[in-house]
Structure 1
Amino acid sequence: MRETSATRRGVLAAAGGALLAGCSGLDEFGESSDEEIRSSRLPDLTDDGESQPVVVETMPIEIERTVLAERVQRTTDLLATLPMSFGADDVPNGYVRKQLIEAAEDASEYIQDARTAQSRLTAMRSLQRARSEARFAAAGWGFVEDGTTETARQSEHEAVIEDANALRSDHAYLGEDPVEAVLFHAEVEQHLAFVAENRYPSGSVNTDELLTVAEWGEHTEYARARVDDGRYLYDRFRESLPADAGSIEETLTTAGESLVDELQRRRSDLPAEPTEGDHELVWRLRYRVRDAAESSARYAGDEPGAASTVLRGAEGLADFLAYERIRDRIDDGEQFGVEEAADVHDARDQAVESVRTALDESPRAGLARPVLADAAQQIVAADEELARLRGTVRPARLDDPIRRYVTATARARSVPAACQEVLDTLTQ
């Protein structure tokens, strides 16, 4: 199913990253009531790009502008197949017509996202989505115009799978610097895994044949974009290496296995799940961070390749360290609740500053960025929750955004140590 524009624009933190924009200046905040807090006093930064904790992913090679321009051109070529406007005479079903129009609009918005992206890798990912949205609309219109069938789109998707298999056969774990190799090869692994694991469109089953054909078009185009970009990035990385660069596969495999073993060891030492207590925020906070740590260990060995396993190891170690931080604070009697708006601002400030500091203090920023992206996304999600509040609210209504800020802080502060452990594992 296509991602809606509203949902897409609500997620400002991308995996990886180099850019951080932190807190704005805040005034003194007094409250007229111990029981309620005016929502106007709470942080409302969802429309302020300069105040969003965006973590922008990059790679240590330059993605050529000409390649991005080709992706834009592919999108505009698809959109050019559409009529100037969709009317009832073209597509009588109003719901179906709306889906095609929205897909075309989303494609244009993704192109704009790419043009304003903070890195070319982020731009490339936006253009993958632009292509798939444009193809949804173009494939749907193709059904109207020339009766293109679902079978034809499925056959096209099979050709993409063949190209993915060819890339998989060519993919060799070359490299010199283990961290750079992890980042590049994990990217290729993820592209290939998407195609292999998503043989069919993920949307709900459609009884409308036009929408079925449109979804196959979208699915095929996105898979094609992933294969094209995976091939391009792999070739660029290989070209950047000296001619005598050897395989780093054994290093990555050994490190990945060691990290999985370490996460499993830590999982076995986890205490039992906390039982619900009198203070719901404390219970929920402890439950959620423990569950994140346990899950990271449970699925650590399920990644599509050695490089992705190493990245999962960094994320998992940060999860366990974050759990220990929050557990210790709870054991020391901290309640985490808020009494006034200034407490919310303080919690957010700490979260954003923790992400910034972690990026500066991590031994290799490349390893830190994918992990910090999740912490940044937690902050953005909390911001959006606060922005939806109106009037006056009781402090308990703020428990969920506070939980997100606290979790983001603990996770970000755990990233430098987690990355150091991964780096030691890679270089030992």
Structure 2
Amino acid sequence: MRGDATGTRRGFLAAAGVALFAGCSEFGPLGDDSSDSVLSHELPDVTDDGESEPVVAEAIPVTIERSKLDEATRRVTALLETLPMPFGPESVPNGHIRRRLLDAASDATARVEDARTAQTRFSALRSLREARTSARYASAGWGFVERDLTQGDLAAEHRRALDEARELRANHEYLGADPVRAALVHAHVERNLDRVLDARTPSGRVEDGSLLAVAEWGEHAEQATAFVADSRYLYGQFTASLPSDAGTVEERLATAAERLARDLRSRRKDLPPEPTENDRDIAWWLRYRLRDAAASSADPVADATGPAGAVLAATRGLTDFLAYDRVRDRTEGGERFGVRSAAEVRTVRSQAVEAIRTALEGSPRPELVRPVLADAASRVAFADEALARYRGEVRLARLDDPLRRYYAATARARSAPSACRRVLDALEI
């Protein structure tokens, strides 16, 4: 269940628009100042200690109280305080196991700091939930040593969380006054409960009943408990904010989801064959990957647990289709993708960032496309971090991966407002 906790990013991270720069192509042209390589210090450097902050973070139309975040922070602190200090060989002689526990504790501390600097309280809540799971991994592992904590104890705790999740799902009512706001909140509740009820048990990569197995079960139980608690809180906060005469929007969301699913299936039938060129350049990659995303976009709508998640999945799917159409039209029109200088790398990145910001401001209901734009912003941040790792002279061909991410983010962002309007039409707003 637990991977490397030392990675730099813990999560992987418009109506048809006019070109950002007058006289330039939509995605940034190839200039005349060409070279086979650039110097790393000439590339965009927007990271802090190797990490880049996304320009848009996901939010939710619910008032998240400071006390809720404080409570989660206290839980992390309490778990970390169970660890001995210093935590050295005298505590856990096995160096590999000790490092796993220390990495988890360090990850928990880093995520608390992420929460303190988060753009939105929803992002902070998510970071603190992740901090809880990492802290519990370390705490449960030490509990195995100090007080004979067992896998069975934690499995029982996890079963209680499962029971609570099933109860929440059974009693879930799609209350709301505005279908967009309702869809956003209820989709998160659906998703959180899915993650509890559909989660796999910890892997068998470690010996059953061992210290690391207990640590993994601690993480597993804490994650389920946190998801359930956050779901209950978000649902309660949202429903408490509604007028007394607010009814259910379930049928309205379900009808819109079915309309949008039909639209996506129809668009899928009209997709051209996959590109067969052998050059595998940036343009080929964009067409291939965006076409692939569009072709599979109807599946998450059909597979969604509830109508709210289906509507949000359809919003993402329409964005993917429109982004693919945009890139295909440009490439068929002869536009080339790539750079010949560090200055052009900066231009391509600036276009991506500006496209995301413009799409958020220009969408008829910005909150509806914010999840899509937050994902695009995360991809930009991931590309930023890739550029920050280069040193010295860098061949331009090595920049293809971050450039592809910038271009894809631009295409999706510029397509988001049109997708938003189509979803609003399906919701009859």
Normalised by the length of structure 1, the TM-score is 0.91
| 1:81-117 residue CA offsets vs partner (Å, 9 max, x unmatched) | 2212222232121100111112112212222221222
Q: Which amino acid in the other structure matches residue 367 of structure 2?
A: G
Determine helix, strand or coil for the equivalent of 2:175: coil
Determine helix, strand or coil for the equivalent of 2:84: coil
The equivalent residue for 1:164 is: 165
On the 8 A contact 1:183/1:307 being kept in 2, the answer is yes
Give runs of aligned pairs for residues 342-381 of structure 1, distance below 5 A.
342-381=343-382
CA distance in structure 2 between the aligned counterparts of 1:55 and 1:116, rounded to whole angstroms? 13
Q: Give the number of the structure whose residues are more often helix, by fraction.
A: 1
Determine helix, strand or coil for the equivalent of 1:85: coil
On the 8 A contact 2:352/2:409 being kept in 1, the answer is yes
Q: Which amino acid in the other structure matches residue 173 of structure 1?
A: Y
Structure 1 residues 302 and 96: CA distance shift in structure 2, 3 A: same
1:127 shift after superposition: 1.0
1:134 shift after superposition: 1.1
CA distance in structure 1 between the aligned counterparts of 2:8 and 2:386, rounded to whole angstroms? 16
The equivalent residue for 2:7 is: 7
CA distance in structure 1 between the aligned counterparts of 2:416 and 2:33, rounded to whole angstroms? 39
CA distance in structure 2 between the aligned counterparts of 1:131 and 1:362, rounded to whole angstroms? 35
CA distance in structure 2 between the aligned counterparts of 1:49 and 1:244, rounded to whole angstroms? 50
CA distance in structure 2 between the aligned counterparts of 1:138 and 1:34, rounded to whole angstroms? 53
The equivalent residue for 1:389 is: 390
Q: Which amino acid in the other structure matches residue 66 of structure 2?
A: R
| 1:363-403 residue CA offsets vs partner (Å, 9 max, x unmatched) | 01111100111211221122122222222233222222221
CA distance in structure 1 between the aligned counterparts of 2:360 and 2:151, rounded to whole angstroms? 47
Q: Which amino acid in the other structure matches residue 307 of structure 1?
A: A
The equivalent residue for 2:205 is: 205
Q: Which amino acid in the other structure matches residue 350 of structure 1?
A: Q
The equivalent residue for 2:297 is: 296
CA distance in structure 2 between the aligned counterparts of 1:282 and 1:408, rounded to whole angstroms? 14
Determine helix, strand or coil for the equivalent of 1:399: helix
Say which is worse superposed, 129-138 or 104-113, in terms of deviation.
104-113
Give runs of aligned pairs for residues 243-282 of structure 1, distance below 5 A.
243-278=244-279, 280-282=281-283
| 1:171-229 residue CA offsets vs partner (Å, 9 max, x unmatched) | 1000010000001100100110001110412x562127100000000011011000001
CA distance in structure 2 between the aligned counterparts of 1:227 and 1:8, rounded to whole angstroms? 28
Give runs of aligned pairs for residues 16-165 of structure 1, distance below 5 A.
34-47=35-48, 52-165=53-166
CA distance in structure 1 between the aligned counterparts of 2:204 and 2:328, rounded to whole angstroms? 41
1:32 shift after superposition: 9.0
Q: Which amino acid in the other structure matches residue 398 of structure 2?
A: R
Displacement over 6 Å in runs of 4+ = 30-33, 48-51
1:2 shift after superposition: 2.9
Q: Which amino acid in the other structure matches residue 2 of structure 1?
A: R
CA distance in structure 1 between the aligned counterparts of 2:110 and 2:48, rounded to whole angstroms? 17
Q: Flag the structure with more relative contact order, 1 or 2, with Cα contacts below 8 A and sequence separation at least 6.
A: 2
Structure 1 residues 217 and 48: CA distance shift in structure 2, 3 A: closer
1:61 shift after superposition: 2.7
| 1:318-377 residue CA offsets vs partner (Å, 9 max, x unmatched) | 000000000011101112121111111111111111001100110011111001112112
On the 8 A contact 2:192/2:227 being kept in 1, the answer is yes
CA distance in structure 1 between the aligned counterparts of 2:249 and 2:211, rounded to whole angstroms? 47
CA distance in structure 2 between the aligned counterparts of 1:163 and 1:347, rounded to whole angstroms? 48
The equivalent residue for 1:402 is: 403
On the 8 A contact 1:53/1:352 being kept in 2, the answer is no
Q: Which amino acid in the other structure matches residue 218 of structure 1?
A: E
Percentage of matched positions with identical amino acids: 55
| 1:213-250 residue CA offsets vs partner (Å, 9 max, x unmatched) | 00000011011000001001101111111122111100
| 1:50-73 residue CA offsets vs partner (Å, 9 max, x unmatched) | 984421222233211112111111
Determine helix, strand or coil for the equivalent of 2:45: coil
CA distance in structure 2 between the aligned counterparts of 1:50 and 1:105, rounded to whole angstroms? 16
The equivalent residue for 1:195 is: 196
| 1:6-34 residue CA offsets vs partner (Å, 9 max, x unmatched) | 43636586xxxxxxxxxxxxxxxx99973
Q: How many residues end up aligned between the 2 structures?
A: 411
On the 8 A contact 2:352/2:410 being kept in 1, the answer is yes
RMSD (Å) for aligned C-alpha atoms? 2.1
Q: Which amino acid in the other structure matches residue 409 of structure 2?
A: A
Say which is worse superposed, 412-421 or 106-115, in terms of deviation.
106-115
On the 8 A contact 1:31/1:37 being kept in 2, the answer is no
CA distance in structure 2 between the aligned counterparts of 1:153 and 1:164, rounded to whole angstroms? 17
On the 8 A contact 1:264/1:298 being kept in 2, the answer is no
CA distance in structure 2 between the aligned counterparts of 1:86 and 1:278, rounded to whole angstroms? 54
CA distance in structure 2 between the aligned counterparts of 1:115 and 1:263, rounded to whole angstroms? 40
Structure 1 residues 279 and 205: CA distance shift in structure 2, 3 A: closer
